Each structure stands twice: as C-alpha cells, then as structure tokens.
C-alpha cells in the first residue's frame, strides 16, 4: 500500500489523498478529496469504499478452512522469537502476551521493563493501562445488570439521569444505555477535551458536558467514536448500583460485578494503586535521535481518570486472558462459574454500525472478517500504552497483547505473526512491520524538515503569554532553558517548531503526548483544529 496525503494549511482548504495498492503488475488506485471535517465524519465510509475494492485476479488469503496448530515446540519457539524481535524493532520497553485456547492459557510471554533505564522486569501479572479495551469490560457491566433486572439495554439515559440533555432534543429523547456504547449515535469524536485541562476535571462533569454537543451525522449512519459517550454509559450503569462519588461508584461496581466474578486479581481502576506496580508510559519526541520511546511521567496518564469507563482500567496479560476465556466460553469462567448470560454477552457483539469493508462495531466490541476468520476485538491506546484483545470464537482462541510504548505497529505485528504461525499463513509480518516503521521514520523526517523550524525571535516575543479557552483551559507560551519556545498546558508541556506558508503561521508540538499536532497562530489567538472541532485560545496577558 502506498498513500500520499496533501494536508491543508488552513481548515477551509481541502484534503487530497491518493491511495494505491499493487500486486505484481496490477494496481488499484483511489483518489479522494474533501474538507478535513468530512474526513473525520466519513472515515468509516471511505474505508469501506477504498479497502472494499478488489483487484481482478488477486484473492485475499483465506484461513477459514485452515486447521490451527498447537502453540508448542517449534510453533511456540517461533512466536517467542517473533515477539522479542518485534519488541526490538519498535523500541518498546516491554510487551506482555497471552494466548488462550479451549478454556486454557496455552502461551504466555512477558519481557522488558516497567521503566526504561530501571531494573523493573515485567511479567504476566504486571498491570498495563489497557485504554479503550476498557469499553468491552464496561459493556459487560451493563450486561450483568440487564441479567439482574436492574437495567435494560433500551433504558433511556434521560430516565436514569433526570435533566440530562444534549444539544439536539431528538438525541436527548431517544438515547439509550446501549446507544452510549455503539459509536453509532452521530456524536463526533472530541478527544482534545480529554487531552487538555484534565487535572481539575471530576468524573461527574461528563453528565453536563453533552448540553452543547450535537450529532454531525444521522443516528446509525456511520461509525463515529466518542469517548465521552461511553463514559456516560458506564457511569450511569454504576449509579444504578451505588450513589455518591461516581468515579468511586464505577470502580466499585466494576470490581464487584466484573473483575471479581471473572477472577481478575491484578486488575484495577485505582490510579494511585496502579502507579505502584504498573508499567510506566513511554513516548517519542519528534527530535529524538534514538527510535526508542522515552519514559513519560506516570501521572500524565491520569487524563483518563475522569473518563474511566472509556479507558481507565489497568490489567495484566494473565487477567486479560481470563477475560478472553469468559468471552469465548459464552460468559462462563474456566472453573465453570457463570458470569453473564449468553444472551447478554452476545448482545454486545451484534453489529450496530459498519467500520470498514468487513468490519462492524457493537457495544464496546468490534467484529468482522480477517482473511476469512470471524474475529471479535478491541484496541486501546493512551499517551504511552497500547493494548489489544483479539478473539477467534470459532476456534475458541484468543490473543492478548499489552505494551508500554510499542504502539499499534507492535500490536499489528504480533497479531499477524500469531496468525501466520497458528494458521499457516504466508510469513509476511516482519517484512510489513519493517516497511511500516521505515514509512514512519520517513514521515517524521518530512515533519522535521517541513514543520519544525526554529521559532523566530520576533514570533517568540509576540507569542509569549497566557492564553485561555473555555473547554481546553489555560495554555502558557514560555521559553525553555535551551531557548526553545514551549507550550505549557499545566498537565504537560512541549516544545514547538515553526513554519510560515502564505502568511499562515503554524506551530507543531515536538514532544509527547501530542507530538506532531499542529496549531495555527491567528493574531492574539492560538487555534487548535482537531477532527470536527475548532478551539481558539485567546491571549489574556
């Protein structure tokens, strides 16, 4: 696959994408152009069109008739070696992997360190922040409550939360507890509101946050991921069980209703407790000479605490393997204890909206076909950690991958190599990973050359000061000890690079957690454009 993207200098300009796929002398190309906001709204539609195109005479490898081999002997050694190799290629500080089959854990592999530069080895019981894989656990909480007669999937949000409203009265009236997990409501992604000004946010602030929010597509029309919506659903489920502080109520409900019944002893939503033994986050700076991510402050991940149902769980490979086995066994633990009914477990997997040519999203879980295999999965990613739950129900097999810095490319590499070894797929995973990492380095090189020029003295002096924005809070522009210009949002800060094209001034964040994010300078304002939203920081002093 080869893809060229022309990104606009200004939001009113249009984006152009050329995507080409080649097999031998056969090439399929797609040319797409549109406004940046449209790409955000219609991303799922574009994936359906572009990757739904097939090349004449080129068939995708079909693993549906393949018989999986046991992960022992040479197969086990091959997967062990592949994980170590891919960890090294991506520069990941640590990775923990578990494979289950037929109600048993048949493979585990944990290697690396909780913090780069420290002798703190990980094992299968080391907790990692699993990010959005949390959504599949939160929807299991709802399934349990439906079993107990305390909720229905069709229970209206406005009935659970009197006074609840969105910016669209029709949405307010129809929204159900199931809808909060489906990514199908038309509510757009709003991740900048997770990233900025999170230290002062309280979990219960989510209840009023929807008052100004409106859908940008019709209900069920397309896949639009919204972390705030899942947060709302998880917290309301917890409120059915416990009153008081909603964050504590959710943590308690998850422990009693999900973690304890499954037997997930390493798993917690307690950020302070996790800090003592969990893998630390790691991230890259665009100016790093080395390709391995550096240690980030652990507290930088506290951005997820006010949005715990969307991504706040810390769990281990051992515990996630137990969760995978319960999913594969129709709601029953390996010891034969029923956690949830089959009816409500599978309700979460019903397709609610299409995500790609062969993929769907349910209630906190994705499903679809991968080379003929029916799979159920979910990924998670935070500032410095990544996770994947990958299930193949027909073969009662599941894969869990956790890392504190390897990113999605490591998840993809391990998953692909797992399928190659177990199902006899042609070995391409390493080659693909090497190509993708080379593409990433080329892209970073282009950003360095194009976007990371030194900030001129006149610009630095003009920008210095404090800026405020109603939803994203305060931003302070200062000078670093090395003379660089630094944007400090309180919870984190980053150096910025500078470019000016056709009178448009752009600053690009250099450091984690938002390395590569561009913002514009417009007079006395710093403007953040992300997905379908525009945030204007106005200079106060």
**Calpha distance 271→262 (Å, rounded):** 21
Strand, coil or helix: what is 1?
A: coil
**Calpha distance 134→130 (Å, rounded):** 7
Q: Which residue has the tokens 């150096």?
A: 495
Residue 119's pLDDT is 93
For residues 411 and 131, the answer to whether their CB atoms sit within 8 Å is no
Q: Give buried/exposed letters for 218-257 (b at 16+ CB in 10 A, else e).
A: ebebbbbbbbbbbbbbbbbbbbbbeeeebbebbbbbbbeb
**Calpha distance 324→261 (Å, rounded):** 14
Q: Give buried/exposed letters for 316-333 (b at 16+ CB in 10 A, else e).
A: bbbbbbbbbbbbbbebbb
Longest Cα–Cα distance of the chain, Å, equals 70
Beta-carbon contacts of residue 241 (< 8 Å; ≥ 6 apart): 145, 150, 249, 252, 253, 256, 257
Q: Which residues of the chain have pLDDT under 50?
A: none
């Amino acid at each position: 696959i080869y893809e060229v993207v022309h990104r606009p200098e200004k939001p009113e300009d249009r984006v152009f994408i050329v995507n080409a796929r080649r097999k031998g002398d056969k090439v399929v190309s797609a040319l797409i152009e549109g406004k940046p906001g449209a790409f955000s709204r219609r991303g799922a539609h574009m994936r359906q069109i572009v990757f739904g195109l097939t090349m004449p005479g080129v068939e995708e490898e079909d693993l549906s008739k393949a018989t999986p081999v046991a992960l022992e002997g040479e197969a086990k050694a091959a997967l062990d070696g592949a994980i170590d190799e891919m960890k090294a290629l991506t520069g990941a500080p640590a990775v923990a992997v578990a494979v289950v089959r037929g109600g048993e854990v048949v493979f585990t592999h944990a290697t690396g360190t909780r913090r780069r530069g420290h002798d703190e080895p990980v094992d299968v019981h080391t907790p990692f922040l699993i990010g959005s894989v949390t959504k599949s656990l939160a929807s299991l909480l709802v399934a349990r409550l439906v079993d107990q007669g305390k909720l229905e999937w069709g229970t209206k949000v406005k009935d659970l939360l009197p006074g609840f409203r969105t910016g669209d009265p029709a949405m307010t009236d129809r929204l159900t507890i199931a809808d909060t997990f489906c990514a199908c409501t038309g509510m757009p992604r709003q991740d900048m509101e997770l990233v900025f000004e999170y230290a002062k946010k309280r979990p219960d602030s989510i209840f009023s946050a929807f008052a100004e929010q409106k859908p940008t597509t019709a209900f069920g029309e397309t896949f639009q991921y919204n972390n705030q919506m899942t947060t709302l659903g998880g917290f309301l489920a917890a409120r059915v069980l416990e009153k008081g502080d909603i964050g504590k109520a959710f943590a308690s409900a998850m422990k009693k209703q999900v973690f304890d019944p499954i037997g997930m002893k390493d798993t917690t939503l307690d950020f302070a407790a996790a800090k003592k033994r969990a893998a630390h986050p790691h991230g890259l700076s665009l100016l790093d000479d080395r390709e391995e991510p550096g240690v980030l402050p652990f507290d930088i991940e506290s951005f997820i605490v006010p949005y715990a149902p969307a991504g706040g769980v810390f769990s281990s490979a051992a515990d996630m393997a137990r969760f995978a086995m319960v999913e594969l066994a129709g709601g029953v633990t390996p010891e034969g204890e029923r956690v949830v009914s089959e009816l409500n477990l599978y309700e979460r997997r019903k397709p609610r909206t299409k995500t790609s040519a062969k993929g769907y999203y349910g209630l906190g879980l994705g499903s679809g076909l991968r080379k003929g295999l029916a799979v159920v999965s979910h990924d998670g990613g935070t500032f410095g950690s990544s996770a994947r739950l990958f299930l193949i129900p027909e073969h009662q097999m599941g894969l869990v991958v956790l890392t504190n810095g390897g990113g999605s490319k490591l998840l993809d590499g391990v998953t692909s190599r797992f399928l190659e070894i177990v199902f006899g797929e042609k070995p391409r995973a390493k080659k693909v990973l090497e190509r993708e990492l080379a593409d990433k380095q080329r892209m970073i090189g282009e950003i360095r050359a194009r976007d990371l020029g030194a900030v001129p003295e006149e610009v630095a002096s003009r920008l210095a000061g404090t800026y405020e924005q109603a939803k994203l809070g305060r931003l302070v522009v200062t000078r670093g000890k090395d003379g660089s210009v630094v944007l400090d949002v309180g919870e984190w800060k980053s150096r910025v690079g500078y470019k000016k094209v056709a009178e448009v001034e752009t600053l690009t964040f250099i450091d984690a957690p938002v390395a590569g994010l561009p913002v514009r300078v417009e007079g006395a304002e710093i403007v953040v454009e992300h997905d379908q939203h525009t945030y204007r920081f106005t200079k106060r002093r």
